[in-house]
Structure 1
Protein backbone atom coordinates (compact mmCIF):
# COMPACT_ATOMS: atom_id res chain seq x y z
CA UNK A 1 0.00 0.00 0.00
CA UNK A 2 1.10 3.59 -0.67
CA UNK A 3 2.93 5.14 2.25
CA UNK A 4 3.95 1.82 3.82
CA UNK A 5 7.54 1.64 5.02
CA UNK A 6 9.34 -1.48 3.81
CA UNK A 7 11.11 -3.14 6.74
CA UNK A 8 14.68 -3.87 5.72
CA UNK A 9 16.12 -7.35 5.99
CA UNK A 10 18.27 -7.96 9.06
CA UNK A 11 21.85 -9.20 8.87
CA UNK A 12 20.65 -12.61 10.03
CA UNK A 13 18.00 -12.80 7.31
CA UNK A 14 20.45 -11.75 4.61
CA UNK A 15 23.02 -14.27 5.84
CA UNK A 16 20.51 -17.12 5.87
CA UNK A 17 19.19 -16.27 2.39
CA UNK A 18 22.70 -16.15 0.92
CA UNK A 19 23.71 -19.42 2.57
CA UNK A 20 20.57 -21.15 1.33
CA UNK A 21 21.03 -19.79 -2.19
CA UNK A 22 24.54 -21.26 -2.36
CA UNK A 23 23.38 -24.57 -0.86
CA UNK A 24 20.42 -24.91 -3.20
CA UNK A 25 22.46 -23.97 -6.26
CA UNK A 26 24.90 -26.75 -5.32
CA UNK A 27 21.98 -29.14 -4.75
CA UNK A 28 20.62 -28.40 -8.22
CA UNK A 29 23.97 -29.37 -9.74
CA UNK A 30 24.28 -32.60 -7.75
CA UNK A 31 20.64 -33.66 -8.13
CA UNK A 32 20.62 -32.92 -11.86
CA UNK A 33 23.58 -35.27 -12.28
CA UNK A 34 21.89 -37.90 -10.08
CA UNK A 35 18.70 -37.62 -12.13
CA UNK A 36 20.62 -37.93 -15.39
CA UNK A 37 22.07 -41.28 -14.24
CA UNK A 38 19.12 -42.66 -12.23
CA UNK A 39 17.75 -46.07 -13.19
CA UNK A 40 15.47 -47.02 -10.27
CA UNK A 41 11.92 -45.99 -11.17
CA UNK A 42 10.97 -45.60 -7.49
CA UNK A 43 13.94 -43.42 -6.59
CA UNK A 44 13.84 -41.26 -9.72
CA UNK A 45 10.60 -39.40 -8.77
CA UNK A 46 12.12 -38.59 -5.36
CA UNK A 47 15.17 -37.04 -7.05
CA UNK A 48 12.82 -35.01 -9.25
CA UNK A 49 10.84 -33.85 -6.20
CA UNK A 50 14.01 -32.83 -4.35
CA UNK A 51 15.39 -31.05 -7.42
CA UNK A 52 12.16 -29.11 -7.93
CA UNK A 53 12.28 -27.92 -4.29
CA UNK A 54 15.78 -26.52 -4.78
CA UNK A 55 14.81 -24.79 -8.03
CA UNK A 56 11.75 -23.25 -6.35
CA UNK A 57 13.88 -22.00 -3.46
CA UNK A 58 16.34 -20.34 -5.85
CA UNK A 59 13.48 -18.57 -7.59
CA UNK A 60 11.95 -17.30 -4.35
CA UNK A 61 15.26 -16.11 -2.88
CA UNK A 62 16.10 -14.34 -6.14
CA UNK A 63 12.74 -12.55 -6.03
CA UNK A 64 13.23 -11.49 -2.40
CA UNK A 65 16.76 -10.16 -2.93
CA UNK A 66 15.81 -8.42 -6.19
CA UNK A 67 12.90 -6.63 -4.50
CA UNK A 68 15.28 -5.53 -1.76
CA UNK A 69 17.74 -4.26 -4.41
CA UNK A 70 20.36 -6.69 -3.13
CA UNK A 71 22.86 -8.45 -5.36
CA UNK A 72 22.19 -12.11 -6.19
CA UNK A 73 24.89 -14.53 -4.93
CA UNK A 74 27.21 -16.12 -7.47
CA UNK A 75 26.16 -19.71 -6.87
CA UNK A 76 27.04 -22.98 -8.56
CA UNK A 77 25.78 -23.70 -12.09
CA UNK A 78 25.29 -26.82 -14.20
CA UNK A 79 27.01 -25.16 -17.16
CA UNK A 80 30.20 -24.35 -15.23
CA UNK A 81 30.32 -27.00 -12.50
CA UNK A 82 28.74 -30.20 -13.84
CA UNK A 83 29.74 -32.64 -16.57
CA UNK A 84 26.50 -34.46 -17.30
CA UNK A 85 28.27 -36.80 -19.73
CA UNK A 86 30.60 -38.09 -17.02
CA UNK A 87 30.26 -41.79 -16.13
CA UNK A 88 27.80 -42.87 -13.46
CA UNK A 89 29.52 -42.42 -10.08
CA UNK A 90 26.90 -43.48 -7.53
CA UNK A 91 24.29 -46.18 -7.14
CA UNK A 92 20.65 -45.17 -6.84
CA UNK A 93 20.62 -46.51 -3.27
CA UNK A 94 23.45 -44.11 -2.42
CA UNK A 95 21.44 -41.25 -3.92
CA UNK A 96 18.41 -42.22 -1.82
CA UNK A 97 20.53 -42.20 1.35
CA UNK A 98 22.09 -38.89 0.28
CA UNK A 99 18.68 -37.23 -0.11
CA UNK A 100 17.53 -38.62 3.24
CA UNK A 101 20.59 -37.25 5.03
CA UNK A 102 20.30 -33.87 3.32
CA UNK A 103 16.66 -33.70 4.39
CA UNK A 104 17.76 -34.26 8.01
CA UNK A 105 20.27 -31.43 7.72
CA UNK A 106 17.63 -29.24 6.10
CA UNK A 107 15.21 -29.78 8.98
CA UNK A 108 17.78 -28.41 11.43
CA UNK A 109 18.87 -25.57 9.13
CA UNK A 110 15.38 -24.33 8.30
CA UNK A 111 14.29 -24.48 11.93
CA UNK A 112 17.27 -22.26 12.75
CA UNK A 113 16.37 -19.92 9.89
CA UNK A 114 12.83 -19.52 11.26
CA UNK A 115 14.33 -18.54 14.62
CA UNK A 116 16.65 -16.03 12.93
CA UNK A 117 13.91 -14.40 10.85
CA UNK A 118 11.89 -11.40 12.01
CA UNK A 119 10.06 -10.11 8.95
CA UNK A 120 6.76 -11.87 8.32
CA UNK A 121 7.36 -12.89 4.70
CA UNK A 122 10.79 -14.35 5.51
CA UNK A 123 9.43 -16.34 8.43
CA UNK A 124 6.62 -17.68 6.25
CA UNK A 125 9.10 -18.62 3.54
CA UNK A 126 11.27 -20.66 5.92
CA UNK A 127 8.24 -22.27 7.54
CA UNK A 128 7.20 -23.41 4.04
CA UNK A 129 10.74 -24.74 3.48
CA UNK A 130 10.49 -26.64 6.76
CA UNK A 131 7.16 -28.21 5.76
CA UNK A 132 8.53 -29.22 2.33
CA UNK A 133 11.64 -30.73 3.90
CA UNK A 134 9.56 -32.73 6.37
CA UNK A 135 7.72 -34.19 3.38
CA UNK A 136 11.02 -34.97 1.65
CA UNK A 137 12.37 -36.66 4.79
CA UNK A 138 9.17 -38.69 5.20
CA UNK A 139 9.16 -39.83 1.56
CA UNK A 140 12.85 -40.75 1.54
CA UNK A 141 12.62 -42.59 4.88
CA UNK A 142 9.60 -44.60 3.76
CA UNK A 143 11.34 -45.56 0.52
CA UNK A 144 14.49 -46.61 2.41
CA UNK A 145 12.34 -48.77 4.70
CA UNK A 146 10.47 -50.27 1.75
CA UNK A 147 13.74 -51.22 0.05
CA UNK A 148 15.28 -52.58 3.26
CA UNK A 149 18.02 -49.93 3.17
CA UNK A 150 17.17 -47.95 6.30
CA UNK A 151 19.62 -48.56 9.13
CA UNK A 152 18.11 -47.86 12.53
CA UNK A 153 20.19 -46.52 15.38
CA UNK A 154 21.16 -49.08 18.08
CA UNK A 155 18.62 -50.09 20.71
CA UNK A 156 19.23 -50.04 24.46
CA UNK A 157 18.14 -52.56 27.11
CA UNK A 158 14.94 -51.64 28.96
CA UNK A 159 15.67 -49.26 31.82
CA UNK A 160 14.92 -50.83 35.19
CA UNK A 161 15.74 -47.90 37.49
CA UNK A 162 16.49 -44.18 37.45
CA UNK A 163 20.07 -43.12 38.11
CA UNK A 164 21.26 -39.59 38.88
CA UNK A 165 24.55 -38.01 37.86
CA UNK A 166 26.72 -37.55 40.94
CA UNK A 167 29.99 -36.41 39.36
CA UNK A 168 30.62 -32.90 38.11
CA UNK A 169 32.76 -34.21 35.25
CA UNK A 170 30.26 -36.84 34.13
CA UNK A 171 30.48 -35.94 30.43
CA UNK A 172 34.27 -36.30 30.42
CA UNK A 173 34.27 -39.71 32.14
CA UNK A 174 33.88 -41.43 28.78
CA UNK A 175 37.45 -40.32 27.95
CA UNK A 176 38.92 -41.16 31.35
CA UNK A 177 37.20 -43.45 33.84
CA UNK A 178 34.98 -45.54 31.58
CA UNK A 179 31.22 -45.48 31.93
CA UNK A 180 28.38 -46.69 29.68
CA UNK A 181 27.31 -44.29 26.94
CA UNK A 182 24.03 -42.51 27.49
CA UNK A 183 21.25 -42.74 24.88
CA UNK A 184 21.94 -39.32 23.30
CA UNK A 185 25.65 -40.15 22.95
CA UNK A 186 24.87 -43.44 21.21
CA UNK A 187 22.50 -41.65 18.83
CA UNK A 188 25.00 -38.85 18.08
CA UNK A 189 27.83 -41.32 17.42
CA UNK A 190 25.59 -43.36 15.11
CA UNK A 191 24.44 -40.26 13.20
CA UNK A 192 28.02 -39.02 12.82
CA UNK A 193 29.18 -42.40 11.52
CA UNK A 194 26.40 -42.39 8.92
CA UNK A 195 27.12 -38.84 7.76
CA UNK A 196 30.88 -39.42 7.66
CA UNK A 197 30.54 -42.63 5.62
CA UNK A 198 28.23 -40.85 3.16
CA UNK A 199 30.60 -37.89 2.98
CA UNK A 200 33.62 -40.08 2.25
CA UNK A 201 31.75 -41.85 -0.53
CA UNK A 202 30.55 -38.55 -2.04
CA UNK A 203 34.01 -36.95 -1.94
CA UNK A 204 35.59 -40.06 -3.44
CA UNK A 205 33.26 -39.69 -6.40
CA UNK A 206 33.83 -35.93 -6.72
CA UNK A 207 37.61 -36.40 -6.61
CA UNK A 208 37.47 -38.40 -9.84
CA UNK A 209 36.52 -35.30 -11.81
Structure 2
Protein backbone atom coordinates (compact mmCIF):
# COMPACT_ATOMS: atom_id res chain seq x y z
CA UNK A 1 0.00 0.00 0.00
CA UNK A 2 1.39 3.37 -1.04
CA UNK A 3 0.84 6.09 1.52
CA UNK A 4 -0.61 9.27 0.06
CA UNK A 5 1.59 12.27 0.86
CA UNK A 6 0.00 15.47 -0.46
CA UNK A 7 1.99 18.57 -1.24
CA UNK A 8 2.38 21.24 1.41
CA UNK A 9 -0.61 23.56 1.66
CA UNK A 10 -0.42 27.34 1.57
CA UNK A 11 -0.75 27.63 5.36
CA UNK A 12 1.94 25.01 5.94
CA UNK A 13 4.35 26.77 3.58
CA UNK A 14 3.58 30.15 5.12
CA UNK A 15 4.11 29.00 8.71
CA UNK A 16 7.33 27.16 7.87
CA UNK A 17 8.64 30.11 5.85
CA UNK A 18 7.89 32.55 8.67
CA UNK A 19 9.49 30.26 11.25
CA UNK A 20 12.65 30.00 9.14
CA UNK A 21 13.04 33.78 8.88
CA UNK A 22 12.38 34.31 12.60
CA UNK A 23 14.73 31.53 13.68
CA UNK A 24 17.58 32.70 11.47
CA UNK A 25 17.17 36.18 12.96
CA UNK A 26 17.15 34.83 16.53
CA UNK A 27 20.14 32.57 15.88
CA UNK A 28 22.43 35.39 14.81
CA UNK A 29 21.11 37.85 17.38
CA UNK A 30 21.88 35.32 20.12
CA UNK A 31 25.20 34.38 18.48
CA UNK A 32 26.38 37.94 19.05
CA UNK A 33 24.93 37.96 22.57
CA UNK A 34 26.97 34.90 23.53
CA UNK A 35 30.14 36.81 22.69
CA UNK A 36 29.45 39.04 25.70
CA UNK A 37 27.10 37.41 28.21
CA UNK A 38 28.86 36.57 31.46
CA UNK A 39 26.01 35.90 33.90
CA UNK A 40 26.17 32.14 34.69
CA UNK A 41 22.38 31.96 35.11
CA UNK A 42 21.55 33.74 31.86
CA UNK A 43 24.10 32.20 29.52
CA UNK A 44 22.59 28.65 29.53
CA UNK A 45 19.16 30.05 28.65
CA UNK A 46 20.61 31.98 25.69
CA UNK A 47 22.53 28.90 24.54
CA UNK A 48 19.37 26.79 24.75
CA UNK A 49 17.37 29.35 22.74
CA UNK A 50 20.06 29.49 20.05
CA UNK A 51 20.21 25.68 19.85
CA UNK A 52 16.43 25.53 19.47
CA UNK A 53 16.50 28.02 16.59
CA UNK A 54 19.31 26.12 14.86
CA UNK A 55 17.30 22.90 15.04
CA UNK A 56 14.28 24.56 13.48
CA UNK A 57 16.40 26.00 10.66
CA UNK A 58 17.74 22.56 9.77
CA UNK A 59 14.29 20.95 9.84
CA UNK A 60 12.71 23.56 7.57
CA UNK A 61 15.68 23.46 5.17
CA UNK A 62 15.48 19.68 4.90
CA UNK A 63 11.72 19.67 4.37
CA UNK A 64 11.75 22.43 1.75
CA UNK A 65 14.60 20.73 -0.10
CA UNK A 66 12.71 17.44 -0.07
CA UNK A 67 9.61 19.17 -1.45
CA UNK A 68 11.56 21.01 -4.16
CA UNK A 69 10.85 24.39 -2.56
CA UNK A 70 13.66 27.00 -2.49
CA UNK A 71 15.04 27.48 1.01
CA UNK A 72 14.27 31.08 2.07
CA UNK A 73 17.04 33.64 2.24
CA UNK A 74 16.99 34.25 5.95
CA UNK A 75 19.50 36.06 8.11
CA UNK A 76 23.11 34.87 7.79
CA UNK A 77 26.58 35.58 9.18
CA UNK A 78 26.78 38.52 6.76
CA UNK A 79 24.08 40.29 8.77
CA UNK A 80 26.00 40.37 12.04
CA UNK A 81 29.40 41.57 13.17
CA UNK A 82 30.37 39.27 16.02
CA UNK A 83 33.21 41.65 16.91
CA UNK A 84 30.84 44.55 17.45
CA UNK A 85 30.60 45.82 21.05
CA UNK A 86 27.85 44.65 23.37
CA UNK A 87 24.55 46.33 22.48
CA UNK A 88 22.25 45.10 25.25
CA UNK A 89 22.50 44.08 28.89
CA UNK A 90 22.48 40.44 29.90
CA UNK A 91 19.02 40.88 31.40
CA UNK A 92 17.60 42.28 28.18
CA UNK A 93 18.52 39.08 26.37
CA UNK A 94 16.28 37.28 28.85
CA UNK A 95 13.50 39.71 27.98
CA UNK A 96 14.08 39.07 24.27
CA UNK A 97 13.88 35.29 24.72
CA UNK A 98 10.86 35.68 27.00
CA UNK A 99 9.11 37.73 24.33
CA UNK A 100 10.06 35.46 21.42
CA UNK A 101 9.18 32.23 23.23
CA UNK A 102 5.80 33.64 24.23
CA UNK A 103 5.15 34.54 20.59
CA UNK A 104 6.43 31.13 19.52
CA UNK A 105 4.01 29.25 21.76
CA UNK A 106 1.11 31.16 20.22
CA UNK A 107 2.42 30.86 16.64
CA UNK A 108 3.18 27.14 16.75
CA UNK A 109 -0.23 26.42 18.24
CA UNK A 110 -1.86 28.15 15.28
CA UNK A 111 0.60 26.51 12.87
CA UNK A 112 -0.28 23.04 14.09
CA UNK A 113 -4.03 23.59 13.90
CA UNK A 114 -3.81 25.01 10.36
CA UNK A 115 -1.66 22.14 9.08
CA UNK A 116 -2.99 18.90 7.64
CA UNK A 117 0.03 16.74 6.89
CA UNK A 118 0.95 14.50 9.78
CA UNK A 119 4.70 15.14 9.45
CA UNK A 120 4.18 18.90 9.60
CA UNK A 121 1.80 18.65 12.55
CA UNK A 122 4.33 16.48 14.35
CA UNK A 123 7.06 19.04 13.68
CA UNK A 124 4.99 21.92 15.03
CA UNK A 125 4.00 19.83 18.07
CA UNK A 126 7.70 19.28 18.83
CA UNK A 127 8.42 22.97 18.39
CA UNK A 128 5.50 23.89 20.63
CA UNK A 129 6.83 21.64 23.40
CA UNK A 130 10.38 22.93 22.97
CA UNK A 131 9.30 26.55 23.04
CA UNK A 132 7.00 26.00 26.02
CA UNK A 133 9.92 24.48 27.94
CA UNK A 134 12.16 27.38 26.90
CA UNK A 135 9.52 29.84 28.12
CA UNK A 136 9.40 28.10 31.51
CA UNK A 137 13.18 28.20 31.80
CA UNK A 138 13.49 31.89 30.97
CA UNK A 139 10.54 32.80 33.20
CA UNK A 140 12.08 30.93 36.12
CA UNK A 141 15.43 32.69 35.70
CA UNK A 142 13.70 36.08 35.43
CA UNK A 143 11.68 35.33 38.56
CA UNK A 144 14.84 34.42 40.44
CA UNK A 145 16.43 37.72 39.40
CA UNK A 146 13.33 39.81 40.05
CA UNK A 147 13.06 40.92 36.42
CA UNK A 148 9.88 39.15 35.29
CA UNK A 149 7.14 41.70 34.68
CA UNK A 150 3.80 40.33 35.79
CA UNK A 151 0.45 41.38 34.37
CA UNK A 152 -1.24 44.07 36.49
CA UNK A 153 -2.91 42.89 39.68
CA UNK A 154 -6.65 43.49 40.14
CA UNK A 155 -9.06 42.74 43.00
CA UNK A 156 -10.66 39.30 42.92
CA UNK A 157 -14.31 39.30 41.77
CA UNK A 158 -16.80 39.10 44.65
CA UNK A 159 -19.78 37.89 42.63
CA UNK A 160 -20.80 36.45 39.26
CA UNK A 161 -21.98 39.07 36.78
CA UNK A 162 -23.47 38.83 33.30
CA UNK A 163 -23.70 41.20 30.34
CA UNK A 164 -27.39 41.80 29.67
CA UNK A 165 -27.41 44.13 26.67
CA UNK A 166 -25.30 45.61 23.92
CA UNK A 167 -24.60 48.72 25.99
CA UNK A 168 -21.60 46.78 27.27
CA UNK A 169 -19.86 47.94 24.09
CA UNK A 170 -20.39 51.56 25.09
CA UNK A 171 -16.99 51.30 26.74
CA UNK A 172 -15.62 51.94 23.28
CA UNK A 173 -18.11 54.47 21.94
CA UNK A 174 -19.90 56.25 24.78
CA UNK A 175 -19.59 56.34 28.55
CA UNK A 176 -16.50 54.49 29.62
CA UNK A 177 -17.03 51.26 31.55
CA UNK A 178 -14.29 49.62 33.62
CA UNK A 179 -11.82 47.52 31.68
CA UNK A 180 -12.31 43.77 31.72
CA UNK A 181 -9.51 41.52 32.96
CA UNK A 182 -8.97 40.27 29.39
CA UNK A 183 -8.61 43.83 28.09
CA UNK A 184 -6.11 44.64 30.86
CA UNK A 185 -4.08 41.55 29.99
CA UNK A 186 -3.92 42.44 26.29
CA UNK A 187 -3.07 46.09 26.99
CA UNK A 188 -0.25 45.09 29.35
CA UNK A 189 1.15 42.63 26.80
CA UNK A 190 1.08 45.34 24.13
CA UNK A 191 3.02 47.66 26.44
CA UNK A 192 5.68 45.00 26.97
CA UNK A 193 5.89 44.24 23.25
CA UNK A 194 6.30 47.89 22.30
CA UNK A 195 9.04 48.55 24.82
CA UNK A 196 10.96 45.40 23.85
CA UNK A 197 10.75 46.58 20.24
CA UNK A 198 11.79 50.10 21.21
CA UNK A 199 14.84 48.82 23.07
CA UNK A 200 15.89 46.63 20.13
CA UNK A 201 15.58 49.53 17.72
CA UNK A 202 17.57 51.84 19.99
CA UNK A 203 20.41 49.35 20.12
CA UNK A 204 20.42 48.64 16.40
CA UNK A 205 20.27 52.33 15.48
CA UNK A 206 23.54 52.88 17.37
CA UNK A 207 25.46 50.61 15.01
CA UNK A 208 23.61 51.17 11.72
CA UNK A 209 26.05 52.61 9.17
CA UNK A 210 23.35 54.08 6.96
CA UNK A 211 21.92 57.46 8.00
CA UNK A 212 18.70 56.53 6.19
CA UNK A 213 18.35 53.33 8.21
CA UNK A 214 19.10 55.16 11.48
CA UNK A 215 16.39 57.66 10.65
CA UNK A 216 13.98 54.81 9.87
CA UNK A 217 14.77 53.12 13.17
CA UNK A 218 14.40 56.35 15.11
CA UNK A 219 10.94 56.69 13.62
CA UNK A 220 10.16 53.13 14.72
CA UNK A 221 11.36 53.92 18.24
CA UNK A 222 9.09 56.96 18.40
CA UNK A 223 6.09 54.90 17.27
CA UNK A 224 6.80 52.13 19.79
CA UNK A 225 7.26 54.58 22.64
CA UNK A 226 4.12 56.51 21.70
CA UNK A 227 2.01 53.36 21.54
CA UNK A 228 3.45 52.17 24.84
CA UNK A 229 2.58 55.47 26.45
CA UNK A 230 -0.97 55.42 25.04
CA UNK A 231 -1.59 51.93 26.42
CA UNK A 232 0.00 52.89 29.76
CA UNK A 233 -2.22 55.96 30.04
CA UNK A 234 -5.31 53.77 29.58
CA UNK A 235 -4.28 51.66 32.56
CA UNK A 236 -3.35 54.68 34.68
CA UNK A 237 -6.80 56.17 34.12
CA UNK A 238 -8.19 52.98 35.66
CA UNK A 239 -5.72 53.24 38.60
CA UNK A 240 -3.94 50.14 37.31
CA UNK A 241 -0.15 49.92 37.35
CA UNK A 242 1.46 49.68 33.91
CA UNK A 243 4.55 47.57 33.15
CA UNK A 244 7.84 49.47 33.47
CA UNK A 245 10.06 50.51 30.57
CA UNK A 246 13.55 49.08 30.01
CA UNK A 247 15.42 51.70 28.02
CA UNK A 248 18.43 51.28 30.32
CA UNK A 249 18.95 47.80 28.81
CA UNK A 250 20.73 49.45 25.87
CA UNK A 251 24.46 49.99 26.30
CA UNK A 252 26.31 53.15 25.34
CA UNK A 253 28.24 51.40 22.56
TM-score (norm 2): 0.78
Question: Do 1:110 and 1:129's aligned partners in 2 also have CA atoms closer than 8 Å?
Answer: yes
Structure 1 position 59 matched with structure 2 position 58? yes
In structure 2, what is the Cα distance between the partners aligned to 1:161 and 1:4?
56
How many positions carry a matched residue from both structures? 207
Instruction: Pick closer, same or farther for the CA change 1:67–1:143 going to 2, 3 Å.
Output: same
Alignment check: 8 A CA contact 1:43 1:92 kept: yes
1:38-79 deviation per Cα after TM superposition (whole angstroms, max 9, x unaligned): 11111001100000000000101111111111111111102x
Provide the C-alpha distance between the structure 2 equivalents of 1:190 and 1:169, rounded to a whole number of angstroms: 25
The equivalent of 1:204 in structure 2 is 202
Q: Which runs of 5+ in 1 are unaligned?
A: none
Alignment match, 2:154: 156
**Does the aligned pair in 1 maintain the 2:24–2:57 contact within 8 Å?**
yes
Counterparts of residues 77-156 of structure 1 (less than 5 Å): 77-78=76-77, 80-156=78-154
Residue 158 (structure 1) shift: 2.2
| Equivalent position of 1:41 in the other structure | 40
Shift of 1:32: 0.6
For residues 156 and 14 of structure 2, what CA distance do their matches in structure 1 show? 45
1:191 matched residue in structure 2: 189
Contact 2:171 2:178 (C-alpha < 8 Å) held by counterparts: no
* Structure 1 stretches of at least 4 aligned residues deviating more than 3 Å after TM superposition: 3-6
Could you say if the C-alpha distance between residues 206 and 169 of structure 1 is closer, same or farther in structure 2, counting changes exceeding 3 Å? farther
1:198 Cα deviation from its structure 2 partner: 1.0
Larger mean Cα displacement after TM superposition, 99-108 or 161-170 = 161-170
Question: Is the CA contact (8 Å cut-off) linking 1:31 and 1:51 kept in structure 2?
Answer: yes
- Look up the SS of the partner of 1:86 in the other structure: coil
Q: CA deviation at 1:6?
A: 3.2
* Aligned mates of 1:104, 1:140 — CA distance in 2: 10
CA offsets 1:104-154 (integer angstroms, 9 cap, x no match): 000000001001111110000000000000100000000000111112111
Matched, 1:29 2:32: no
Structure 2, unmatched stretches of 5+, are: 208-253
Which residue in the other structure is 1:11 paired with? 10
Aligned to 2:244: none
Which stretch of structure 1 is more off in the superposition, 27-36 or 104-113? Answer: 27-36
Deviations 1:172-197 (A, max 9, x none): 41453122111011111111111111
1:4 deviation in Å?
4.3
Counterparts of 1:56 and 1:169 in 2: how far apart (Å)?
Answer: 50
Would the aligned equivalents of 1:174 and 1:181 in 2 still touch at CA under 8 Å?
no
Task: Say which SS state the counterpart of residue 24 (structure 1) adopts.
Answer: helix
Paired with 2:46 and 2:33, the residues of 1 have a C-alpha distance of 7
What secondary structure sits across from 1:173 in the alignment? helix
